[in-house]
């Protein structure tokens, strides 16, 4: 049975020679991300701004989502987002207005009163501003620590040059994906933080595979220039890298299409991160080794036995 090959075997692409295109693309995306975060920031979700989430069930018939939006949208408690699911259920999310900040319990009661007797409230969650601030801070710290610990692991697993390259490449992936939330104005919530943490782990997986091949080839071709070594190793692992990324993306696409609003931001971030992580493993992480002190031989050559003498 023939195996599926998305990328032909024995490719000879000059990745090192094309690195300036990759660096230009990286610079452009980083510039867009920095500008968006500076001027727009994140569209923080209820997890980070505080607010109310209510799940309600329509007792008879299907819920009139458009009518609920008009009814609740005329209230004074803040921005309302309504999503229908399971034919008779609705999920209502409220970001309290400035005047109602800190009065989440009162907002929840106002929403329940507005729903009236036609709806059965099955879940009510409230997040206060103090808790939301702590969640946002902890989320940022978690992302930074995950990138740092990954870099430390790679430095011990290989050499410090690899650790530095892994830190820069992984931080690049996480930052660019965070920029996606800022540019598109998708809700940045705990699901987004989970997506960034997942992406950090996925991204370093591809990077480590290429780094491991570079180390292996370094043992075999001790006199080969680092640029040729990077090209050889990247081409040898290219088929595996692309196949892994494509298969992972295929598994995420159904979540994007049918996962609903709750998982939309998470799945889009993962899908976008797969593309960014694959690109950075090839054009960012490996290329950075060119600008660091030379990587020494990974292990000394085996000593030859002395000639036998009579």
Name the band, by pLDDT with cuts 50, 70 and 90, for residue 261: low
Residue 16 phi, psi (nearest 5) = -65, -40
pLDDT at 131 exceeding the cut of 90 = no
Tens-place pLDDT, residues 202-259: 888 778 888 888 888 888 887 788 888 888 888 888 888 888 888 888 888 888 887 7
pLDDT at 35 exceeding the cut of 90 = yes
Beta-bridge mates of residue 96: 78
Rounded CA gap, 131 and 124, in Å? Answer: 16
Write down the pLDDT at residue 310.
37
pLDDT at 161 exceeding the cut of 60 = yes
Write down the pLDDT at residue 32.
92
Give the residue among 245, 210, 246, 209 at the shortest CA–CA distance from 231.
210
pLDDT at 308 exceeding the cut of 70 = no
The bridge status of strand 78-85 relative to strand 89-96 is antiparallel
pLDDT at 307 exceeding the cut of 50 = no
- Provide the token pair at 243: 């196949």
Write down the pLDDT at residue 31.
93
Q: In this structure, is the dihedral angle defined by the CA atoms of residues 181, 135, 262 and 128, taken in order, positive or negative?
A: negative
Tens-place pLDDT, residues 279-297: 888 777 788 888 877 765 4
Domain ranges across the chain: 19-43+131-291, 51-127
Name the band, by pLDDT with cuts 50, 70 and 90, for residue 4: low
pTM of the model: 0.73
- Provide the token pair at 273: 């991160």
Which one is predicted more confidently, 85 or 92? 92
Write down the pLDDT at residue 305.
42
Rounded CA gap, 48 and 129, in Å? Answer: 8
Write down the pLDDT at residue 5.
60
Please tell me the chain's helix, strand, coil percentages from 3-state DSSP, rounded to the nearest 5.
65, 10, 25
Write down the pLDDT at residue 36.
92
Residue 310's Cβ-side half-sphere holds a number of Cα atoms within 13 Å equal to: 0
19-43+131-291 adopts what CATH topology? Multidrug efflux transporter AcrB transmembrane fold (1.20.1640)
pLDDT at 178 exceeding the cut of 80 = yes
Q: How far is CA 268 from the centre of its chain?
A: 9
Which one is predicted more confidently, 262 or 117? 117
pLDDT at 191 exceeding the cut of 60 = yes
Q: Please say whether the beta carbons of 167 and 151 come within 8 A.
A: yes
- Provide the token pair at 178: 């965070």
pLDDT at 148 exceeding the cut of 50 = yes
Tens-place pLDDT, residues 237-249: 888 888 888 888 8
Name the band, by pLDDT with cuts 50, 70 and 90, for residue 300: very low
pLDDT at 121 exceeding the cut of 50 = yes
Which one is predicted more confidently, 302 or 89? 89
Could you give the 3-state DSSP secondary structure of residue 89?
A: strand
Q: Which CATH architecture fits 51-127? A: 2-Layer Sandwich (3.30)
Write down the pLDDT at residue 97.
66
- Cβ atoms < 10 Å from Cβ of 73: 10
Name the band, by pLDDT with cuts 50, 70 and 90, for residue 299: very low
Could you give the 3-state DSSP secondary structure of residue 44?
A: strand
């Amino acid at each position: 049975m023939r195996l599926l090959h998305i990328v032909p075997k024995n490719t000879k692409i000059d990745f090192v020679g094309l690195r300036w295109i990759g660096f230009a693309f990286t610079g452009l995306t980083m510039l867009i991300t920095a500008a968006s975060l500076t001027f727009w920031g994140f569209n923080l979700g209820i997890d980070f701004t505080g607010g109310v989430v209510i799940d309600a069930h329509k007792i008879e018939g299907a819920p009139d989502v458009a009518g609920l939006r008009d009814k609740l949208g005329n209230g004074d408690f803040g921005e309302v987002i309504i999503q229908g699911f399971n034919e008779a259920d609705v999920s209502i999310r409220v970001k309290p207005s400035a005047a109602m900040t800190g009065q989440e319990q009162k907002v929840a009661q106002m929403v329940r009163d507005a729903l009236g007797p036609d709806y059965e409230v099955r879940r009510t969650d409230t997040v206060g501003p103090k808790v939301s601030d702590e969640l946002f801070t902890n989320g940022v710290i978690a992302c930074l620590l995950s990138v740092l610990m990954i870099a430390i692991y790679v430095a011990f697993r290989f050499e410090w040059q690899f650790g530095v390259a892994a830190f820069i490449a992984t931080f690049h992936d996480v930052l660019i994906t965070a920029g996606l939330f800022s540019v598109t104005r998708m809700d940045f919530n705990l699901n987004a933080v989970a997506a960034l943490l997942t992406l950090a782990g996925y991204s370093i997986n591809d990077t480590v595979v290429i780094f491991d091949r570079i180390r292996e080839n370094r043992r075999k071709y001790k006199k080969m220039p680092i640029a040729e070594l990077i090209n050889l190793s990247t081409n040898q692992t290219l088929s595996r890298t692309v196949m892994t990324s494509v298969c992972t993306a295929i598994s995420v696409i159904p979540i994007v299409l049918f996962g609903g609003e709750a998982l939309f931001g998470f799945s889009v971030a993962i899908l976008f991160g797969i593309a960014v992580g694959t690109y950075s493993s090839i054009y960012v992480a490996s290329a950075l080794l060119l600008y660091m002190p030379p990587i020494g031989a990974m292990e000394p050559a085996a000593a030859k036995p002395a000639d036998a003498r009579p």
